[in-house]
Structure 1
């Protein structure tokens, strides 16, 4: 498959941006799925030691990629306020 892509790119150099954009989109989608599988509290990989990890989340923890209604005054500060 990779050999076919390389031969097409050599014959038609205008296809190189298309291959780069499609490839980066596939890699980005794979990384996002990996992020969801690893960092989402609703996914439990260890069912013996921690069967319900979502119960240990506090209400101020942000585990979503984008949170619409966030009260930033109640969030924990982990760096000094200059």
Structure 2
């Protein structure tokens, strides 16, 4: 029913075809990005039983975004005095 209405409208107003193409493309791209975030993001956990907190199981040589997990803070210079 909806497809027949859209087809009839596009036959009567062919200038709407590019609009429909771009809106459909944007919808598909945003859905794909949302699926990528849900499936590939390390902060998302779909398995509650085997690995409920995967962000805690980072190997020492891995880096999460721009934060070094295995940094040795005892070797840093102190720029300010302790209070």
* Alignment match, 1:50: 51
| Alignment TM-score, normalising by the size of structure 2 | 0.66
Structure 1 residue ranges (4+ consecutive) displaced by more than 4 angstroms after TM superposition:
none
Q: Structure 1: how far apart are the matches of 2:29 and 2:4?
A: 23
| Alignment TM-score, normalising by the size of structure 1 | 0.67
Which structure 2 segments of 5+ residues have no match?
A: 67-83
* Alignment match, 1:3: 4
Q: Which has the higher strand share?
A: 2
Report 1:6-25 matches (<5 A): 6-25=7-26
Question: Once superposed, what is the RMSD of the aligned Cα atoms?
Answer: 1.6
* Alignment match, 1:73: none
Does residue 37 in structure 1 map to residue 9 in structure 2? no
* Alignment match, 2:29: 28
